[in-house]
Copies of this chain bind each other. A is one copy, B any other.
Amino acid sequence: MEAASERGFDYHFVVEEKAMHDFIVRSIVKAGADESQGESVARMLLYADSRGHFSHGINRLQLYIKDLQTNTCNSKGKPKILKQKGGTAFVDGDNALGSVVGEFCTELAISLAKKHGIGWVTANNSNHFGAAGRYGHLAADAGLIGFAMTNTSPLVFPTRASQKALGTNPLACVAPAENGDHFALDMAISTVSLGKVEVANRKEKEAVPHGWGANSKGVEEQNPKVILDKGGLLPLGGIEERGGYKGSGLGMMVDLLCGVLGGAHFGKNVRAWAKSHTKADLGQCFIALDPECFADGFAQNLKQFLDEMRNLEPTDPKLPVRVPGDFSKSHGALIAHSGGLVYHKSQIEQLQKLAKDIDAPFFDTKPFQKP
């Protein structure tokens, strides 16, 4: 519970995983897709909520439903392989739900990696696929190192630019270590997600830290209201002299491997965030790599590496050193202790509204109790 407590316990309700799963399936079916697609979306959203990545969990259900209702996402989409050579494959996502494309491509990358040591799959014609780390974890569950990347709607100012022309373009890398341990990096190339600025604004903070966002001209800005009013995010590092050009370059690399290599939309041409006026045509990249093809003892070596990092003397004794994935793991422990997924009341209220709108039966909740 240690790391989870560092994040605070700002929860009010507990929901059984099965109940939430069934609600998601019901909602997606109501919106026109079939049950197997609903199951895929449920796996995607529960992955995120069970790790405390609320910005990629049930909060996003409404967006997927809107894409289905407007037919800008193909409710009957079936991804297909367009080219295959050695360890590589090129996939047409058929404008299916992002989770459906992501699971298809990850399974393909895993099977290519088992045969060729490495599987590198690029897809176009895809949609928002949730938390990138989820696809990395699917590969890690098969004993492989898994990567996933996607381009996204332009929310970030490239260094020096006065126009948002890059997405938050997440990059995930997940690797299995001994005794069920993992390295699980899942990061946007912006300093923070838009969600963090929204939370600061809701809490009426006057300023967010340097490097988070900019005003509508791309000039660094700390007032969350100004950032949210036609401003946007800054790439990791913030302004140029603090290294922001590296975050900007990383974001372009992700887009190159997703949008450009996939022949999908890229850069400023990706559709605006949360708009369902036209299809998204996102580019995505999924990689699986077999550690057996390299030095012996990868899982043991990785465990040693992770533990050596965690055991470094911290600068502040109250804040122990973490490796990527540790916060998610502690959230998992909180859920096991609480007997279900934990939510803030605003999330449950938003879902009740959604359930009413689409006329889907709701689920039971229990009150959250601090451990």
Knowing A86-B86, A165-B312, A294-B88 are in contact, say whether A209-B263 is a contact too (CB < 8 A).
no
Question: Which stretch, A37-45, A93-101, A239-247, A348-356, touches the partner chain B?
Answer: A239-247
The reply to whether A246 and B313 form a contact with Cβ atoms under 8 Å apart is no
Chain B residue with Cβ nearest A183: B256
A242 touches B210 (CB 8 A): yes
Asked if A75 CB lies within 8 Å of chain B CBs, one says no
**Across the interface, do A86 and B315 meet the contact criterion of CB distance under 8 Å?**
no
Of the candidates B83, B161, B175, B268, the one whose C-beta lies within 8 Å of that of A315 is B161
| B237 with A160: CB separation less than 8 A | no
> Do residues B122 and A120 form an inter-chain contact, with CB atoms below 8 A?
no
Which chain A residues in 108-123 approach chain B with CB under 8 Å? 115-118, 120, 122
Interface string of A201-222 (1 = CB under 8 A from B): 0000000011110000111000
A interface residues, Cβ below 8 angstroms from B:
83, 85-90, 115-118, 120, 122, 124, 145, 157-163, 165, 173, 175, 183, 185, 187, 191-192, 209-212, 217-219, 236-238, 241-243, 245-247, 249-250, 252-253, 255-257, 259-264, 266-269, 289-291, 293-298, 301-302, 305, 308-309, 312-316, 319-324
| A to B CB contacts below 8 Å, 21 in the list | A83-B293, A85-B116, A86-B86, A86-B118, A87-B87, A89-B293, A145-B256, A159-B321, A160-B315, A160-B321, A161-B321, A165-B312, A173-B253, A183-B256, A209-B241, A211-B211, A212-B242, A236-B243, A238-B243, A255-B305, A259-B305
